[in-house]
Amino acid sequence: MRRAALEQIETNARGMLGSEDPEFLHQLRVGMRRLRAALRAFRPILPKKEWGRVRDALRELSPTLGRARDWDVLVERLNAARAAPALIERSQMKRAKARKKALRALGSKKFARLSQTALEPRATSQSLAEFGAAALERAHRKLVNEARGADWRNAPRRHAVRIRVKRLRYSCEFFAPAFANDETAPYIAQLKALQETLGELNDIAVGRRLVGFDADEAALLSRLEIAWAAWDATRPFWRARARRLRPAARQTRARGSGARAPSGSRRSRKPEARSA
C-alpha cells in the first residue's frame, strides 16, 4: 500500500513539473492522502521514528499543495459558470502564485523524504483480515463520533466529516483484498458517493471563502442526507468476518493449550508470524 501511494505521488509530481494540467496535482494529493491513511492504519507495526518523519513531512506539504488545488477547482468552477471576466482573471493570477509555491514544495527536502524512508512493517501474528478489522473499526468509530450531532449546513463540520470519510474509504481499499468482493464493493461504493457529495459542498464553501463565489447548496444537502442514511444503515463488512474468525481463534488457543509441556508451563505455542 505504501509503495503504491508513493508511486502515485512520484508519478504525478513528475507530471506536475512538466505540465500545467491540474489533474496531476489532484492525483498527487490523492496519493498523499492514501499514504497518510496507510500510516494511520498500519501505525501499530511501523517503525515509530520513520513513521513520525513521514507524517511530519506530509503535514508540512499538504497545506501548500491544498491551496494550489483549491484555486484550480475554483477557476474551473468560475469558467463553467461564466463568471465575470475580471473575477476569473484575478483568480487565475492567484492560482499561478499558489502553483509556484506548490512547485517549490516539490523540490523541498520534506518532499524528497517521502521516498527515502523505508517504512517496512514488522511481522505480526494476526492475519490481514484480523489486523484490518481492528484498523477499520477504529476509523469507523472516529467517523461516527465526528458526525454525531453535526449540522450539515455547517461547512467546517462537514469538512471534518469529509476527512474522516476519506480516511475510512482509503483504509477499506487497503484491506479489501482480505475480504470477499461482494462484501466490500457495495460498502466502498457508498463511501465514494458520500465523499463525492461532501466534496461538491466543500468546493462551494471554498469558493465562498476565497472570492465570495457562491451557489445554492439545497439540492446537495438533500443528497448528502440520503447518502449518509444509506451508508449508516449498512453493516460494516469487516464485522461479519470478525465474528467468523473468533471461533477459529478459540479453537487455535485450545489446541495450543493441549500441547503444553509436561513441566506445566503455561506458555502456549504461538502461531507462525505473518506479515500484515
What tens-digit pLDDT sequence spans the chain (276 residues)? 667 888 899 999 999 999 999 999 999 999 999 999 989 898 888 888 888 888 999 999 999 999 999 999 999 999 999 999 999 999 999 999 999 999 999 999 889 888 777 677 788 888 889 999 999 999 999 999 999 988 999 999 999 999 999 999 999 999 999 999 888 999 999 999 999 999 999 999 999 999 999 999 999 999 999 999 999 999 999 997 655 555 444 444 444 433 333 233 333 333 333 333
Residue 263, C-beta contacts closer than 8 angstroms, at least 6 positions apart? none
Q: How far is CA 275 from CA 64, 72, 122, in A?
A: 35, 41, 7
Q: Which of 40, 109, 69, 77 is nearest to 211 (CA)?
A: 77
Instruction: Note whether 163 and 189 are within 8 A (CB).
Output: no
Cα(131)–Cα(229) distance, rounded to whole angstroms? 28
Q: Which residues contact 118 (CB under 8 A, 6 or more apart)?
A: 47, 50
| 181-211 and 85-106 helices, crossing angle to 10° | 120
CA 228 to CA 145: how far, in whole Å?
Answer: 14
